[in-house]
Structure 1
Amino acid sequence: MIRPWHINYPKGVQKHVSIPNCSLFSILNEAYEKSPNNTAVIDGADRWNYKTLYEKVAALADSLSNKGFKQGDKMLISLFNSKEYITCYFAVQRLGGIVVQANPLYTSSELNNLIIDSEATWVVASTNQQEKIEKAITNSHVEQIFVKAKSSPTASSFEELIKEGLPYQAPKPTINPKEDIAVLQYTGGTTGKSKGVMLTHQNIYSNIYQNYHFTVKEMDKKDEKILGVAPFYHVYGMTAVLLLAMFRRTAVICVSRFEPKSLLDLIRKERPTLFSGVPTMYVSLLRHPEATEEAMQSLKLCMAGSAPLPIEIIEEFERKTGAQILEGYGLSETSPTTHRNPTMGIRKVGSIGIPVPNTDCLIVDQAEGIEALPNGEVGELLIKGPQVMKGYWRNEKETNRTLKNGWLYTGDLARMDEDGYFYIVGRKKELIIASGYNIYPVEVEQVFYEHPAINEAVVFGVPDPYRGETIYAAVVLKKGESVTQEELKVFLKKRLSVFKVPAYIEFRSELPKTSVGKILRRELQKEIKNLNNTK
């Protein structure tokens, strides 16, 4: 197989690295043994070193074990970035359990779908989610744990479990990193086409290793702090932020929600050196009046993903901070990183870069997905590497459709130039990515159809300079019915997470269809794009 990207590998970066066969808990264990006094977690006024973090994880693991949590059990974690999230995550890994990732913004019905599909038997959430969680588990026997709460007959207190636990007492499981699932990472919403990606310990550990060797190995770790803005419940925040920080035995600064003013204040105070974010975050920071060179000069390296970052934004951000922004690419199915612009080599703005170590890629024809295409031609992007998922949870059909002969069919359309740099040109799938969130149109459409006034509905993404994409809906009302755009949005917000609610709702007398009555989603999408381009 010809790999033209190898020519552009930075000097000293190996094209193939030997990756140890390790569990995820071994990352924290090694940090504790080798650097116990290094700062591990900064969360508001709280600063934990690796010794403190390890002992709290061990105590929680002991309490969970005493309450019946065992190897292979699944815990759904519905928490924003915090010391509590990190403690729960590693306690589950310590016991050989499986973390089920959940966005804390999910509604009770969305969480219910997630719990049922994943077969999670434990849930941990913040106290303000208690009512929502109780509604979500009405049809399931699930143990509940709440942060900053007292124990009750139906739920345990996170803090009390740690206080009651005895470090080093929990039984140590025998883990097969290549086969045992560490995380169930759902690809988008929790209904419709959403799928639970089975990521093994070795999948995730491999991707940490790949990120480390390709991007940050040569960086000076002195005073290094990683800004944890990307959500840990998202595969990117989990691997490329949280776990990479633990692997480097450096500090991760927990940011529960992105808000430009408070984030700039935090950057001034804590002086982070690494920052990973989506385009929306970079645009918001730059447009804030307090985004001065002095405020952001501690940043040395920034990562960008989920959507293309405008060249103007990259140049302005780098001018203000002196930091380098590297664009890349990944998926939930690949733990997530597959491509990255190199730190020390040639950077091509607008490209997703070149494959990280131990990763092979092909561009194949869209029709059959068999013929490898020459440089410059657009086709479906295929990926092979140790970071590629084990499969989809309880979904053999989709697993077989996506994984063929060792290759992952991404569904994304791309091209490769003569230097081996890749460019994403569109999505074969209908997935919408807005501000880094994955949204499936069918899920939103189903909720539209729950409204008594809606006859037909179609949802799709349109380009947005701020969010990457934004959600657009076109609807047809039932004869004699009336409803306003604002009334529909209120209806949707009660049933969907706020980031899934369309920014635009257009009322039409009819929708374009094929001869057999299928709505022509792409035709509508093209029409709206063309209309926006003429404005």
Structure 2
Amino acid sequence: MSFNLAIMLQESVTAAPSAPMLYMGDATITYREVDDRSRRVATALRDRGLQPGDKVAVQVPNVPEFVYAYFGILRAGLTMVPLNPLFTAREMAYHLDDSDTRLLITSVFSLAGAVEGAAEAGVSDVVVVPLGTELPDGSVAFDSLLDAPPFDDLHPTSADDTAVLLYTSGTTGRPKGAELTHYQLYMNCTVAPELFGMSASDVSIGVLPLFHVFGLSSVLNATTRWGASVALLPRFDATAVIDEIERRRATVFAGVPTMYVALAEADATGRDLSTLRAAVSGGASIPGEVIKAVEAKFTGLVVLEGYGLSETASTTTFNVSATERKVLSIGKPVWGVEMKVIDDEGNALSAGTDNVGQLLVRGHNIMKGYYKRPDATADALRNGWLHTGDLGYRDDEGYYFVVDRLKDMIVRGGYNVYPREIEEVLYSHPDVVEAAVIGTPDDRLGEEVVAYVAVRDGADLSEADVITFAKEQLAAYKYPRSVVFVAELPKGATGKILKRELRTS
């Protein structure tokens, strides 16, 4: 069976060629225009000697050129390798070499590290989104790709061919490339948005990085699949997001918990944000207090939490509505996806808060495997089940709850301590803006509980105050014994808190 994910764009162009697809600053770009430019990119890439299955790395922020490149790559039967624009030369060299990339599309924002890394990896074909900057020797401007004639064909890729080689964050070693297929990505952006009634009339805010699976699948792919529109923002700023919601009459926002924290704190006085109807949270567990604060600020808005990984092309479970959701739950598996909880011996666990184990997932949303890593693939995929490395449980109604990452669990004096539970308590303090809990080595207990906290401006909060507050709400073995105050917690490009940096600080 042949199936190419770029058919989504082709179908939406056929349905409404003049409909707006992208908003960027003052510009409005229609579906017809995106389709034409992506077809030209496809021709240009094939004319440069690339063959179906070859890898093209895209290291570009949330700008229209990312979208043109993405659908051009797919249409030509190539595989996209999305990369973080903040990568250093060393990181670029690793990813380009490991992925066997043939051509790199980068931008002026990443130029120095990109060119050096490409040279080290032996990638000589470099395309740059220039913005008036002088191009490095041997590179070409992205706009020159648009001079090629439109690619008339849609390459007949197999449904199981790799569309996107998406690298994991590398929290448990060097990053691995998860092979996401055309069919897998199609099903994800079809099934999940149906749950909150996405349609061509919706306008999404595209501030999640498109090089990340959440932004790529749940924002760009979903927008294209349903013929909707997306307002692109290259970086997150709460005021800029509010401006764009009001300006574009946006209806859907997808973000990570730290974005919701910032939106809850931002000044929205006098703004008309009444069109915003749905907010999707993922990437990490969102504290209940943050949900309450956001929904109190944005009247009529419902924050729906989901769960997924790079390996599952974004969505695995979802809370479908305000009436059916459970706050703090990641919801139920989406259509066509199975989930279960197992103990350390691999036995399935029954429902109940006492039955915490590793979450396993099986269904149409699972990756083919890790590129060139058969051992890692065999370890992650066993009997069709993806072993997520996340700890959780299921209640009697079939709702799932993530307790923590398996690697983040703290073992203190023989007791299992889940950082998320402590973080929920800390977020409920009126003067705490951000909180993260980790375990540190302890000679007597094995590990000790340490909290990192960012407080509200002007707050007078001491370490003793935080410890006492937590102690009143947690068992004796759980509450933090020390508190580190920081101006802001370290975050990755998506806004996800980086606990690994706290462990090495």
TM-score normalised by the shorter chain: which range applies?
0.7 to 0.9
State the aligned residue count.
439
Aligned counterpart, 1:271: 249
| In structure 2, C-alpha distance between the alignment counterparts of 1:430 and 1:387, rounded to whole Å | 25
Work out whether 1:225 is the aligned partner of 2:149.
Answer: no
Is the 1:150–1:160 Cα contact (8 Å) retained in structure 2? Answer: no
Aligned counterpart, 2:19: 38
Q: How does 1:41-440 map to 2 (within 5 A)?
A: 41-142=22-123, 143-148=125-130, 149=133, 153-162=137-146, 164-169=147-152, 172-178=154-160, 180-189=161-170, 192-217=173-198, 221-222=200-201, 224-288=202-266, 290-292=267-269, 294-321=271-298, 322-343=300-321, 345-365=323-343, 367-376=344-353, 377-430=355-408
Q: Tell me the CA shift for residue 297 of structure 1.
A: 2.1
| In structure 1, C-alpha distance between the alignment counterparts of 2:484 and 2:291, rounded to whole Å | 26
Is the 2:449–2:481 Cα contact (8 Å) retained in structure 1? Answer: no
Work out whether 1:23 is the aligned partner of 2:4.
Answer: yes
Q: Tell me the CA shift for residue 526 of structure 1.
A: 6.0
Work out whether 1:531 is the aligned partner of 2:481.
Answer: yes
Query: Would the alpha carbon gap of residues 468 and 237 (structure 1) be closer, same or farther in structure 2, given more than 3 Å must change?
Result: farther
| In structure 2, C-alpha distance between the alignment counterparts of 1:110 and 1:470, rounded to whole Å | 26
Query: Would the alpha carbon gap of residues 73 and 327 (structure 1) be closer, same or farther in structure 2, given more than 3 Å must change?
Result: same
The residue identity in structure 2 corresponding to 1:193 is R
Q: Tell me the CA shift for residue 70 of structure 1.
A: 1.9
The residue identity in structure 2 corresponding to 1:320 is K
Q: Tell me the CA shift for residue 311 of structure 1.
A: 2.5
| In structure 2, C-alpha distance between the alignment counterparts of 1:431 and 1:74, rounded to whole Å | 37
Q: Tell me the CA shift for residue 320 of structure 1.
A: 2.8
SS at match of 1:384: strand
Query: Would the alpha carbon gap of residues 320 and 85 (structure 1) be closer, same or farther in structure 2, given more than 3 Å must change?
Result: same
Is the 1:279–1:468 Cα contact (8 Å) retained in structure 2? Answer: no
Aligned counterpart, 2:476: none
| In structure 2, C-alpha distance between the alignment counterparts of 1:431 and 1:168, rounded to whole Å | 51
- Superposition CA RMSD, Å: 2.8
| In structure 2, C-alpha distance between the alignment counterparts of 1:361 and 1:126, rounded to whole Å | 40
Query: Would the alpha carbon gap of residues 345 and 405 (structure 1) be closer, same or farther in structure 2, given more than 3 Å must change?
Result: farther
Is the 2:361–2:385 Cα contact (8 Å) retained in structure 1? Answer: yes
| In structure 1, C-alpha distance between the alignment counterparts of 2:326 and 2:78, rounded to whole Å | 41
Q: TM-score, normalised by structure 1?
A: 0.76
Q: Tell me the CA shift for residue 166 of structure 1.
A: 0.5
Greater CA drift, 89-98 or 462-471: 462-471
The residue identity in structure 2 corresponding to 1:175 is T
| In structure 1, C-alpha distance between the alignment counterparts of 2:340 and 2:2, rounded to whole Å | 27
Q: Tell me the CA shift for residue 467 of structure 1.
A: 8.6
| In structure 1, C-alpha distance between the alignment counterparts of 2:112 and 2:171, rounded to whole Å | 19
% identical equivalent positions: 31
Is the 1:200–1:390 Cα contact (8 Å) retained in structure 2? Answer: yes
| In structure 2, C-alpha distance between the alignment counterparts of 1:431 and 1:183, rounded to whole Å | 31
Instruction: Render the CA deviation track for 1:238-275: whole Å, top value 9, x for unaligned.
Output: 00101100011111110100011222222221121000
Query: Would the alpha carbon gap of residues 513 and 402 (structure 1) be closer, same or farther in structure 2, given more than 3 Å must change?
Result: farther
Is the 2:192–2:334 Cα contact (8 Å) retained in structure 1? Answer: yes
Is the 1:110–1:191 Cα contact (8 Å) retained in structure 2? Answer: no
Is the 2:128–2:141 Cα contact (8 Å) retained in structure 1? Answer: yes
| In structure 2, C-alpha distance between the alignment counterparts of 1:468 and 1:328, rounded to whole Å | 21
| In structure 2, C-alpha distance between the alignment counterparts of 1:526 and 1:328, rounded to whole Å | 28
Is the 1:364–1:371 Cα contact (8 Å) retained in structure 2? Answer: yes
Query: Would the alpha carbon gap of residues 39 and 188 (structure 1) be closer, same or farther in structure 2, given more than 3 Å must change?
Result: same
| In structure 2, C-alpha distance between the alignment counterparts of 1:253 and 1:280, rounded to whole Å | 20
The residue identity in structure 1 corresponding to 2:23 is I
Q: TM-score, normalised by structure 2?
A: 0.81
Q: Tell me the CA shift for residue 396 of structure 1.
A: 0.8
